[in-house]
Amino acid sequence: MGSFFYRGFFVFSLLILLEGATCRLDKEFSVSWAVDHVRFFKGGHKLQLTLDQNSGSGFSSKNKYLFGNINMQIKLVPGDSAGTVTAYYLSSEGSNHDELDFEFLGNKSGEPYVLQTNVYASGQGDREQRIYLWFDPTKHFHSYGVIWTAQHILFMVDSVPIRVFRNHKAAGVAYPEKQAMGVYSSLWNGDNWATQGGLVKIDWSHAPFVATYRNFSVQSMAESMGEDVRAVSSEQWKKLQWVKKNFMIYNYCNDKQRYPLPPPECSMDM
């Protein structure tokens, strides 16, 4: 899927993948880390990352994108995954990079997975939010992605928005809107911080740890200044408030130790 520059922004080919569609992950992605720990199978339609005591692993997309509805179905590391981090994210390159993060923090068996999201714009991050997932993400594939427009970014889990980050550049808040980003994922040892602040370490007797991927999709979005593009629907807003009320466990906007004066976007994205 090539991308083309036209009238000031990228327009890339439309790819819509529905449940059961057959995206060739081996055509869309390259191994970026530890080729012997990455496995393409089912004719290239599925991919697995592996973590053991020797190495983690990772992959990256062959294309970059600017705006779109970008999704991947993932089945996370099952069982006692404490200390592991499965990172799935979009990122541009360079010190002033933009980045949109999903980080799945492992747990002891039977405890809920923690999903941390973060937004980098022009190299500035430190915008972490954490939620508990309301389902077991190790038993079935679930879709994780972003709806990224020039006006806002919605972080999505299946059809549920879990976070919105709006374009407040008029208020001096940097926003990812000019740098095309690639799609990346990695599975690695984060036991110095990932589970209960690093108190729970990886139990290597459960290795290898495996995360599985399928059905990558990118849907291009015609950018305009119309209200239909700027607005978050009332149904999306209700679902977002449900997540905040029932599953959010950390929001940088409420961290008075880090931010005695909350960043300006916090009061505008409520």
If you write DSSP's letter for every residue of 128-173 in order, what string do you get?
-EEEE-SS-TTTS-EEEEEEE-SSEEEEEETTEEEEEEE--GGGT-
Do 162 and 115 form a contact (C-beta atoms < 8 A)?
Answer: yes
> Which residue in 19, 28, 99, 265 is the catalytic one?
99
Going by the DSSP 8-state scheme, the letter that residue 232 receives in this structure is: P
Q: How far apart are CA 88 and CA 26, in angstroms?
A: 17
Q: How far apart are CA 170 and CA 128, in angstroms?
A: 22
Does 265 participate in catalysis according to the annotation?
no
Kind and range of the H or E run holding 79: none
Do 177 and 54 form a contact (C-beta atoms < 8 A)?
Answer: no
Work out the widest C-alpha separation in the chain, in whole angstroms.
55
Amino acid at 23: C
Kind and range of the H or E run holding 6: strand 3-6
Own/partner long-range contacts of 120-124 (Cβ < 8 Å, ≥24 apart): 120/91, 120/176, 121/173, 121/174, 121/175, 121/176, 122/96, 122/98, 122/174, 123/94, 123/95, 123/96, 123/97, 124/174
Beta-bridge partner residues of 185: 59, 88
> Which residue in 28, 103, 223, 265 is the catalytic one?
103
Q: How far apart are CA 24 and CA 26, in angstroms?
A: 5
Does 235 participate in catalysis according to the annotation?
no
By annotation, the residues acting in catalysis are 99, 103
